[in-house]
């Protein structure tokens, strides 16, 4: 009901959130806060996004069960679990291998068989599996979408990503690829995400 009051109207998105147990995606000690509308730490400087942001980003993608989706930033695996309820196949990339290992165990526990995950540089996308009808990025890119991601988005596809402006403020932005070199964009809401970084993280970043 809270998400409905915040403008989430897609019943499939609401059902996916309702049926996905968020408490198994939070770190030990945070279980009692799992259903509060707030971001929570999952370690290694990363967070699980608040339910409202997850719902807004998911609804913006206009998913159906024939879509192949790329997620940049697996994190806890919560957003991936929501997406997997709504698409044909999800490919997800995480630069922190310890977080990915935990997320993969959660996918196995929930029996989510349509998720394929790797540790890698999300800014480079997943060229071997491109093109994707939908792409979602759960970390903030500086000023613009990484070129590789826009190249790997199918014509007619949608991409949702937080963008950091020159002022340092972030905005959640939706892109639609209208041609090989053309796209439309729409700002959805102000937001705050961890930065999108290149390469695979090393333990010195913990």
Q: Is residue 156 part of a domain?
A: yes
Closest CA to 51 of 18, 28, 73, 10: 18
Region of 79 please: left (phi>0), alpha (psi -120 to 50) or beta: alpha
Rg (CA), the chain: 16
Number of domains in the chain: 1
pLDDT in tens, 53-81: 999 999 999 999 999 999 999 999 999 99
Number of DSSP helices (H) and strands (E) in the chain, helices first:
6, 10
Instruction: State the distance between the two ends of the chain, measured CA to CA, in whole angstroms.
Output: 37
Predicted confidence band at 44 (pLDDT cuts at 50, 70, 90)?
confident
Residue-number span of the structural domain to which 15 is assigned: 2-198
The residues that are catalytic are 49
Q: Is residue 203 part of a domain?
A: no
Whole-number Å distance between alpha carbons of 43 and 25: 12
Q: Which percentage of the chain shows pLDDT scores above 70?
A: 97
Look at residue 206 and tell me whether its pLDDT is greater than 80: no
| pLDDT average, residue stretch 16-39 | 81
CATH number for the domain spanning 159: value is: 3.40.50.150
Coil vs helix vs strand at 126 = coil
Q: Is residue 82 part of a domain?
A: yes
pLDDT in tens, 104-122: 999 999 999 999 999 999 9
Mean pLDDT of the chain, nearest integer: 92
The residue with tokens 């897609």 is 10
């Amino acid at each position: 009901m809270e998400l409905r009051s915040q403008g989430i109207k897609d019943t499939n998105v609401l059902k996916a959130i309702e049926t996905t147990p968020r408490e198994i995606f939070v770190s030990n000690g945070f279980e009692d806060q799992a259903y509060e509308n707030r971001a929570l730490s999952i370690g290694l400087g990363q967070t699980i996004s608040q339910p409202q942001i997850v719902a807004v980003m998911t609804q913006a993608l206009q998913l159906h069960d024939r879509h192949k989706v790329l997620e940049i930033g697996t994190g806890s695996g919560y957003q991936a679990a929501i997406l997997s309820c709504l698409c044909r196949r999800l490919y997800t990339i995480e630069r922190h291998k310890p977080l990915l290992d935990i997320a993969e165990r959660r996918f196995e526990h929930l029996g989510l068989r349509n998720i394929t995950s790797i540790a890698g540089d999300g800014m480079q996308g997943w060229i071997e599996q491109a093109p994707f009808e939908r792409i979602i990025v759960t970390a903030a890119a500086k000023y613009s979408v990484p070129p590789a991601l826009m190249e790997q988005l199918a014509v007619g596809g949608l991409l949702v990503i937080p963008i950091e402006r020159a002022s340092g403020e972030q905005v959640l932005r939706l892109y639609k690829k209208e041609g090989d070199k053309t796209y439309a964009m729409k700002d959805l809401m102000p937001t705050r995400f961890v930065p999108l970084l290149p390469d695979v993280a090393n333990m010195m970043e913990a």
